[in-house]
Amino acid sequence: MTSPAAQTVAGGASGSGLRGGNLPRTLLTASAPVVWGTTYVVTTELLPPGHPLFAGMLRALPAGLIALAFTRTLPRGSWWGKAAVLGVLNIGLFFPLLFVAAERLPGGVAATLAAAQPLVIALLAVLILRQGLTVWRLAWGLAGMAGVGLVVIGPAAGFDVVGLVAGLAGAASMALGVTLTKRWGRPAEAGPTTFAAWQLTAGGLFLVPLTVLFEGAPPAIDLPAAAGYLWLGLVGGLITFVLWFRGITALPVTSVAVLVLLSPLVAAALGAIVLGQTFGPVQLAGFALALAAIVAGQLPTPSRSH
């Protein structure tokens, strides 16, 4: 017997992100990776360098604790374990792997590896959700990854084995977290804010010992850094993860997955606007290809003609 929430999740396992009344929900879900795309410019321009784990921990744990204090709802039964697993996969493990990839690889290469997430989710949906794997989804997933690559990979891109493994592992970690979120749904007593609070807290607690072990004492925080941490924690953490987990449980998982391509595109656009970076014809073509993949990912798979 399944809960009403789980039944709702199961009902959203197929279809498209733009079918019926899903467009407003899809746009709200898409706002999460759009905001996450600001992380690079905020980190490089406002935060003290050399403390990426502290930034990740501060982004997750205070937001999770604030949300828990507001909702006053703790997990029950098996959800203690499930919330911990999802928090580690979606946040606690994903952040360090992302930081390792970002430090050892050019940003464009790291972003392209992260763009592999829709492909990983498409494969995991077959294994975990028992969904069919279509050429449509695979083709547009590859197209989206290629588009992001054209936008962000420059001629000086280098390849480091540890960085490549970390980048792919990070994409796989969050992809598995997204797929399991879809598989398990959320309990009836947990709304989107509560569900995000559990995972942010679990992920933040996971990062505390890693931060102490690898970075030691926290850095000095001036006013710009405080503004940056506040943005990453309140908007880039609490608000966006509430919208993201709400979207995962309500929309088809493959439609949600392709929305993550918005993050590197926004990061590249802000690089051009804020940091004075320029786009050539290749980058513009890649932008168009990635946007086409995002839109195609929201459409129903075309039926085969007989």
* Domain definitions of the chain by residue range: 4-297
pLDDT of residue 224: 94
Interval 65-89 mean pLDDT: 95
Query: CA 30, 33, 35, 41 torsion: positive or negative?
Result: negative
Supply 124's token pair.
Answer: 């995991």
Average pLDDT, the chain: 83
Per-residue pLDDT reduced to its tens digit, 179-201:
999 999 989 889 999 999 999 99
Q: Determine what percent of the chain is predicted with pLDDT higher than 70.
A: 85
Query: CA 50, 51, 53, 56 torsion: positive or negative?
Result: negative
pLDDT of residue 306: 42
pLDDT of residue 4: 38
Per-residue pLDDT reduced to its tens digit, 6-28:
433 433 444 565 555 688 889 99
Neighbour tally for 226: CB within 10 Å: 12
User: How many CA atoms, within 13 angstroms, populate the side-chain half-sphere of residue 63?
Assistant: 30
Decide if 210 contacts 26 (C-beta within 8 A). Answer: no
Decide if 175 contacts 124 (C-beta within 8 A). Answer: yes
Distance from C-alpha of 55 to C-alpha of 51, rounded to nearest angstrom:
6
| Residue 2: burial class (beta carbons within 10 Å; 0-12, 13-18, 19+) | exposed
Tokens 């084995």 correspond to: 161
- pTM of the entire structure? 0.82
Per-residue pLDDT reduced to its tens digit, 141-172:
888 888 888 877 665 555 677 778 888 888 89
